[in-house]
Amino acid sequence: MELKNIIYEKKDSLAWITLNRPNVRNAQNDDLRAEVLWALEDSRDDEDVRIIIITGAGDKAFSAGADISEFPKRTPADILRGKGKKRMTDLLREIPKPAIAMVNGLALGGGCELAMACDLIIASENAQFGQPEINVGVIPGAGGTQVLPRLVGEKKAREMVFTGAFISAPEALARGLVNKVVPQEKLRDTVMEMAGAILRHSPVILKLCKLAINKSLDVPLSIGMDCERDLFAMCFGTEDQKEGSKAFLEKRKPQYKGR
């Protein structure tokens, strides 16, 4: 695929997806979404890629959300026809590899939803988060009303969705929306440190970790516990579990094979 709206790079087990429309604060149009979906599928299928990192070009915005210039041509039928299509946020949650959002500025509307679909969010001090869709006469459409309350709490989510208010990076950290907040100049290094801490571990076990946590969000606790037990048992059928235990007992670094 010819990429005109994103930059896609793969290096050292990392796939970098950069939303590249800085002149419109990396707003998401249909073409950008298609390119991101392609890059996510490629990252998913490439065994050399172990972590996906998503960010925005420039230092003003991760993504300001949907490209509103496309809204006038939208109809209810258009939206419903796309209901069965895979969305970026759906695919991010399903991919059995950790995904990190590197938020450098505004993460609003679909931008906030894209970040929340990642497993981890690391933000710069100037980052802001919000679901301001109400300002243009719509509701959040990619998880803002469903995921945000689980992260910041129901009441704060209602306030953000009802008023379109933003929250700062420090407040996002305090409320559990993001994992770390760092100065802009340290953002990339901090993301690389987090990625390095993850890369030390078995890819097959990380896959099971992500699956177990994802399952817990959709089912009652008792069912989630059963799911966790089943996945825990699966670990003992992997070569990496045997290598991890052996390396621990032998006081050496494990050599994982992803099997």
Coil, strand, or helix at residue 71? helix
CA distance linking residue 243 with residue 84, whole number of Å: 41
Q: At what angle do helices 203-216 and 221-235 cross, to 10 degrees?
A: 170
Backbone torsions φ then ψ of 74, nearest 5 degrees: -75, 145
- Which candidate, 196, 221, 194, 224, places its Cα nearest to that of 211? 224
Beta-strand pair 128-130/120-124:
unpaired
Which residues touch 149 (CB under 8 Å, ≥6 apart)?
157, 158
Q: How far is CA 90 from CA 9, 37, 195, in A?
A: 22, 10, 22
Are 28 and 2 contacting, i.e. CB atoms less than 8 angstroms apart? Answer: no
- Which candidate, 130, 47, 42, 144, places its Cα nearest to that of 89? 144
Q: Looking at the annotation, which residues are catalytic?
A: 113, 133
CA distance linking residue 212 with residue 183, whole number of Å: 33
